[in-house]
Amino acid sequence: MNTVAQKNCPFCHYPWEKIPIDNLEDDDEAFYFERYETNGPHKLMKTINVLRNDDILPWLIAIKRRPKYCEMCGRPLNEEEE
Ligand SMILES: [Zn+2]
């Protein structure tokens, strides 16, 4: 059972709000962030991306893992959406 806050969590629902990564060095030229993304139906993954000032679209640096739950709200992510 998910709470209202979890149902409205912007980080684990499309269009997947960006999660800033603070532990990378601050850089005016580039913004590093993590993001939940789908790779096909029910294949959720967490990615690390960077967006530089001159970029229109962010670059995918790495696929971090298959998340089992949202780190921002704790909602389980391995359940199928209805
Ligand atoms: Zn969430």
pLDDT in tens, 33-75: 999 988 777 688 999 999 988 899 999 999 988 888 999 999 9
Say how many domains are in the chain. 1
Give the pLDDT score at 9. 94
Q: How far is the CA of 55 from the centre of ligand 1 (A)?
A: 27
Looking at per-residue pLDDT, the higher value among 68 and 23 belongs to 68
In a domain, 70, yes or no: no
In a domain, 75, yes or no: no
Q: How far is the CA of 36 from the centre of ligand 1 (A)?
A: 9
Query: What's the domain range around 59?
Result: 4-65
Helix/strand/coil (H/E/C) assignment for every residue in 22-40: CCCCCCCCEEEEEEEEECC
Rounded to the nearest 10°, the torsion over CA 57, 61, 62, 64 is -70
**R_g over Cα of the chain:** 14
Give the pLDDT score at 29. 82
Out of 7-11, 58-62, 75-79, pick the least confident.
Answer: 75-79
Q: How far is the CA of 50 from the centre of ligand 1 (A)?
A: 21
Element (H, E) at 4: helix 4-7
In a domain, 78, yes or no: no
Q: How far is the CA of 34 from the centre of ligand 1 (A)?
A: 13
